[in-house]
A and B are shown apart, each in its own frame.
Chain A
Amino acid sequence: MAEAGVNKPKAVEMIGITKTFGGVAALKEVELAVAEGEVRGLVGENGAGKSTLMKILSGAHTDYLGDLKVWGQKVRFGGTSDAAAHGIGMIYQELSVIGCLSVAENTFLGQQPVNRFGVVKWKQMQQEAEAHLKNLGIEVDVNLPLNLLPFSVRQMIEIAKVIFSGARIIIMDEPTSSLSQAEIKQLFQLVRTLKERDHTIFFISHFIEDVMEVSDSITILKDGLLVETLATAGLTKQDVIHRMIGTTTGRLVREVDEVVHLQSPDTEVVLEVKNLTKTGDFEAVSFALRRGEILGLYGLLGAGHEEVGRAIFGLKRYDKGAVLLEGRVVPAGRPHKVKDLGIAYISEDRGGSLFHQFEIFKNISLPYLAQILGPPLDWLVRIRKEIATADFEIRNFGIKSAGSRVNLSSLSGGNQQKVALAKWLTVTPKVIILQEPTRGVDVGAKSEIVQSIRDLKETGLACVVISMEPETILDLSDRVLIFSRGKIVSEIKDTSTTKPKLMELT
């Protein structure tokens, strides 16, 4: 147990917490105790159960086994407002402050001081907001509308708001992912101020360094189990990463330290990205992609690699730079033109790229409908041609469905993901961009999708795989570019690497 907790009362105790989603255990018998005034880091891979655990504490999940004690008292929350009444506040990555309202209004959101006619006392509200924020070390003009202020300030206002509403236990979910180094310093200062005032803080993050810098102790979760809780003093990043990954069973490919040898081909360049810059998302991103190569773009949430993928396909405009396909400029912001040039794009968001209420064949035929219908009458819809193409792809990708005429919504997640891939391969593109190609699919579908992508590479296709999951990157890539805070920070090429190494480089 951490030193900070020795002679202080326990703020939160979680005893034997188990939570299942549709028969799958997300948390198993988790035991946790945090003292008043302690900053507790919470780390683990995607799906380890960090968010689920904190959602139980914040009242968002009410259906769980085990006991929760707050200030030594056994509680069972009926909802988030119940948890708030016990002094627990959660700061999500998506802030709940309202951009068009002023700082003062946001600070008092839902509890503005009013006179007996219900009219807001503006003057009093401004003064109180100013005093309250100053007290926390935040100096800002409280009359400014929030959307004129940087994200970091908005986040701090959100924290101030939660504290003002009486929270003594504050949960921060990935608070540093969209902040610059200087802003992170400011946030940490605020966290320390809160700690001095005996607020208890849970700090969830993928950024191990950030957690290590600010926390007193770190709890490591893996596959729903609590691995260990350690005092932060004296730990190294490697210590934490090794415990996070552990020896995993049932995973598709990687054991912890399994060495993957990367080797990139020496073929001609197909796609070239030059100095691509979009302020706030990514900066000076340059790389070249060769025929028959799979290039992995790896980074944590918000590292900018996902936005680079969207920018190449024209879904996002950029400020500077250029994308060249076989030496020709790829237009920015025009996905239909980018598609016609021979670039395919598989979105990480299945809901936002597939049509659940339409038949499978309509989903598969859409991107290259003109080519499937074929000249000379490529404007005339002939369902039989579409169905023939769809049936071929269904067999090719092993999509389990009751035919190509049933609605997409009848398929499982893994099979939907295969449709998302298949619809771009009815005609062979030159370059294919895959965003999180195996996210949210079961192990069987995952290995089939990985195999399909490897097969495509063998046919000479050039692929970009964009992911936040190191397994996905190592399963597929011939070469890896590592993104951090919008920039390429390193390249792993023609060498051996491991998952911990990849994670350390971010």
Chain B
Amino acid sequence: MAALVSVASLRSRPRPVKPALNKLTDEELVSRAKKGDNNAFRIIVERHQQNMARTVSGMLGASSEVDDVVQEVFIRLYRHLDRFRGDAALSTFLKRIAINLSLDALRRRKRFRHRFLSRDDDRLHLPEAEAGGSRADTFDRERLINEALGTLGPKHRAVVVLRLIDGYSTRETARILEVPQGTVLSRLSRATVKLRSVLAPILADEDQVS
């Protein structure tokens, strides 16, 4: 009888509930992943993939390389999990990897273009240059933005992506890119002027709408 009672009490005792992985913070997930918990790492990927895709797309445009680079970001994270000490947010750590890999991809792309494509292909076809007016409506808007971003050097582009697209502060951007804040400000200023001049037709339309 006593044995039966003890078994019954064991059954009724609440089991230690495994916390749902989705509810864990990034730091907790990383510490679990470091111990070999692949499910925890999967949650990290699912949580940050959209954000990384946006950053990498900002850097590379709508290219097939984006998917590869985003995957590579997480593979690198997995390989270097031990380097993540939690000094900065995981998203910042990932952002740095994403920017570095995107810069590598841009370098590869530049080498490829230099080697295989004629210089004429790189020329920017601006609406002003062809029509002398605002023919932005007839142009593919995304292509124009892509070309406008293409006029920026990779380093300027990285500042634009982090600062304008991802909404990081100047200090955070400087930290991710490992450059002084003054450099971020000057790159941002130059890049914005350039973008505004190229995108003037679209921006004028946007202003009218808003």
Q: Do A and B come from one complex?
A: no
